[in-house]
Amino acid sequence: MPPPGSATPTPLNDAARRSLLGVPAPGTAATEMETMRDGLLARGITLKRYSPGEQRMVCPKCGGGSSAEHCFSITIDPDGQTSKWKCFRATCGFQGGYTVGSPYRPATSRK
Ligand SMILES: [Zn+2]
């Protein structure tokens, strides 16, 4: 049975791409493979695109303050596997990083 959401008519190409990226083939990992999108979503971050490069947007934590400025910067590495983000508002300071395949770690919260 093909994986859900697989729109490519040639699954062999996808498998070849996965091996090039060093991504384990489906079924070999004990847990389901997480994508950059999954990892960021789990941290409350939704992006317009998940391709490498820097993006500026309204911070998902503080909302950019009263003027809703794009104070939040996130950079995805050229390999698309690692991302780092930071909010430039001193009162917020939301920052972190995520690497695809790394175990889920809840964001540090102040108590
Ligand atoms: Zn913020």
- pLDDT attached to residue 34: 83
pLDDT in tens, 33-90: 789 999 999 999 999 999 999 999 999 999 999 999 999 999 999 999 999 999 999 9
Q: Report which of residues 6 and 63 the model is more confident about.
A: 63
Distance (angstroms) between ligand 1 centre and the Cα of 76 equals 18
Residue 74 buriedness (CB in 10 A; 0-12 / 13-18 / 19+): buried
What's the gap in Å between 107 CA and the centre of ligand 1? Answer: 14
Average pLDDT of 10-32?
60
- Is the backbone of residue 53 left (phi > 0), alpha (psi -120 to 50) or beta? left
Whole-model pTM over 0.85: no
- Between the CA of 14 and the centroid of ligand 1 the distance, in Å, is 37
- C-alpha 99 – ligand 1 centre gap (Å): 21
- Cα radius of gyration (the chain): 17
63/23: higher pLDDT: 63
**What SS3 state is found at 11?**
helix
